[in-house]
């Protein structure tokens, strides 16, 4: 294992990875490279005989996602690193877990989908892709995810499917209330997961999202039956 | 906590408010997350002007909606309490907690 040191948006961080990934990342983040050793930010574990996928971990060892293609791992990393870039006006940034399939993107809020690793692998084996601890920017006026014109944008999220502009599904934890949440209650949950942005932009973005998205609720238990979250394929 | 009939609720000037499907989402700068208001609270939010007391608001509700005074006052008190918990008011209504404590001794101790 080796590492590269970056500084993005004033935040220094180090990415530990193997030499093959490092060469790819050095070329990708050329303008963010620094020489000083930075605190550990992410780790990209190389494939093993048992697990033939690259695994992306955060500095706490939390598994953020995995992919067999190094390009896809780099795209996941892009999504996380872009959260360090300054937020544009009229945008809000939210923390979500995204589940992607051919039909679109489902944004899941904590603690939804906080499931064991085996369940995530089960999801992946059926064609879903899971991106964890993701930061997405939402345009407050339209409620659409933003693809910004910055050096990371060219490749940011493209291979992971996050260039989808509209958010069509939200997955919320079911509350103690017997009825499904109203759209305003869904927007309030979305606001509580905001990590950056003006309060007004956060409110507008959350309401714009729930206006256009269908809202699914799930019972939040560790042994949750994932089939209840996503309809059978 | 319930509010006194003579309490005059006033909304913070920096309170953010959005409406959708007859519900409201309000966000006070002193709260980390917004609060959802139901349609009744949304209507009352629009008539709280910083001059009318809880009793005045209850009288307005009684006159306009035609419900009993006691029900109207209970609704207004509920909404004022909800707004206070959401950090939407400039001042908190006085607590009647002490009055409720006195109710514990409503029956005099036997001798």
> Could you report the predicted ipTM of this complex, rounded to two decimals?
0.75
pLDDT at B46 > cutoff 60: yes
The string of pLDDT tens digits covering residues A183-230 is 888 888 888 888 889 999 999 999 988 887 777 665 444 344 433 334
The string of pLDDT tens digits covering residues A91-121 is 898 877 766 666 666 677 655 554 555 556 6
Contact B34 A210 (CB under 8 A): no
pLDDT of residue B42: 92
Report, as an integer, the average pLDDT of B32-40. Answer: 92
Higher pLDDT, B95 or B37: B37
pLDDT at A33 > cutoff 80: yes
Which chain A residues touch B20 with a CB distance below 8 Å? 183-184, 187, 207, 210-211
Report, as an integer, the average pLDDT of B76-100. Answer: 80
pLDDT of residue A222: 36
Which chain B residues touch A192 with a CB distance below 8 Å? 32-34
CA angle A151/A155/A156 to nearest 5° reads 85
Higher pLDDT, A107 or A23: A23
Q: How far is Cα B23 from Cα B21, in angstroms, rounded to an integer?
A: 5
Q: How far is Cα A108 from Cα A63, in angstroms, rounded to an integer?
A: 16
Q: How far is A88 from chain B (nearest CA, A)?
A: 20
The string of pLDDT tens digits covering residues A138-163 is 888 888 777 543 444 444 444 344 44
pLDDT of residue A179: 57
Higher pLDDT, A125 or A139: A139
Strand partners, A43: A16, A57
**Nearest residue on chain A to B37, alpha-carbon basis:** A184
Q: How far is Cα B30 from Cα B26, in angstroms, rounded to an integer?
A: 12
pLDDT of residue B88: 93
- Which positions in chain A have a beta carbon within 8 angstroms of at least one beta carbon in chain B? 182-185, 187-188, 191-192, 199-200, 203-204, 206-207, 210-211
**Nearest residue on chain B to A187, alpha-carbon basis:** B25
Query: Which residue of A184, A191, A200 is in closest CB contact with B21?
Result: A184
Q: How far is Cα B22 from Cα B16, in angstroms, rounded to an integer?
A: 16
pLDDT at A122 > cutoff 60: yes
The string of pLDDT tens digits covering residues A36-61 is 999 999 999 998 888 788 888 988 88
pLDDT at B11 > cutoff 80: yes
Reported as type and span, the H/E element at residue B18 is: strand B16-20
Termini Cα distance of chain B: 34
Q: How far is Cα B33 from Cα A163, in angstroms, rounded to an integer?
A: 29
pLDDT-derived band of residue B79, with 50, 70 and 90 as boundaries? Answer: very high
pLDDT of residue A149: 38
Interface test with A, best of B17, B34, B45 (most A CBs within 10 A): B34
How remote is the C-alpha of B85 from its chain's centroid?
9
- For chain B, the average pLDDT equals 83
pLDDT-derived band of residue B83, with 50, 70 and 90 as boundaries? Answer: very high
Higher pLDDT, A121 or A23: A23
**Nearest residue on chain B to A210, alpha-carbon basis:** B20
pLDDT-derived band of residue B35, with 50, 70 and 90 as boundaries? Answer: very high
Three-state DSSP class for residue A101: strand
């Amino acid at each position: 294992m080796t590492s590269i040191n970056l500084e993005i948006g004033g935040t220094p961080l180090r990415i530990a990875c193997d030499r093959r990934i490092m060469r790819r990342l050095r070329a990708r983040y050329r303008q963010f490279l620094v020489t000083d050793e930075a605190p550990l930010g992410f780790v990209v574990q190389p494939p093993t005989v048992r697990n033939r996928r690259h695994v992306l971990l955060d500095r706490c060892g939390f598994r953020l996602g995995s992919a067999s293609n190094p390009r896809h791992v780099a795209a996941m990393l892009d999504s996380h690193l872009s959260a360090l870039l300054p937020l544009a006006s009229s945008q809000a940034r939210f923390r979500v877990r995204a589940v992607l399939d051919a039909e679109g993107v489902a944004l899941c809020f904590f603690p939804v989908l906080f499931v064991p690793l085996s369940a995530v692998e089960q999801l992946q084996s059926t064609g879903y892709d899971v991106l964890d601890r993701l930061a997405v920017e939402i345009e407050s006026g339209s409620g659409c995810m933003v693809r910004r014109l910055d050096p990371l944008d060219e490749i940011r999220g493209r291979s992971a499917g996050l260039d989808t502009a509209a958010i069509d599904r939200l997955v919320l934890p079911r509350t103690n209330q017997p009825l499904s949440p109203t759209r305003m209650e869904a927007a309030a949950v979305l606001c509580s997961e905001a990590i950056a942005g003006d309060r007004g932009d956060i409110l507008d973005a959350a309401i714009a999202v729930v206006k256009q998205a269908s809202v699914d609720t799930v019972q939040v238990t560790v042994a949750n039956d994932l089939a209840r979250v996503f309809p059978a394929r | 906590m319930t509010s006194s009939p003579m309490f005059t609720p006033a909304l913070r000037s920096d309170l953010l408010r959005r409406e959708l499907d007859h519900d409201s989402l309000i966000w006070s700068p002193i709260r980390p997350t917004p609060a959802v208001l139901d349609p009744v609270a949304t209507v009352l939010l629009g008539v709280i002007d910083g001059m009318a007391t809880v009793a005045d608001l209850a009288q307005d509700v009684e006159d306009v909606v035609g419900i009993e005074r006691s029900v109207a006052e209970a609704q207004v008190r509920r909404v004022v309490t909800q707004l206070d918990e959401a950090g939407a008011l400039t001042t908190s209504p006085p607590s009647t907690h002490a009055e409720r404590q006195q109710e514990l001794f409503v029956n005099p101790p036997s001798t």
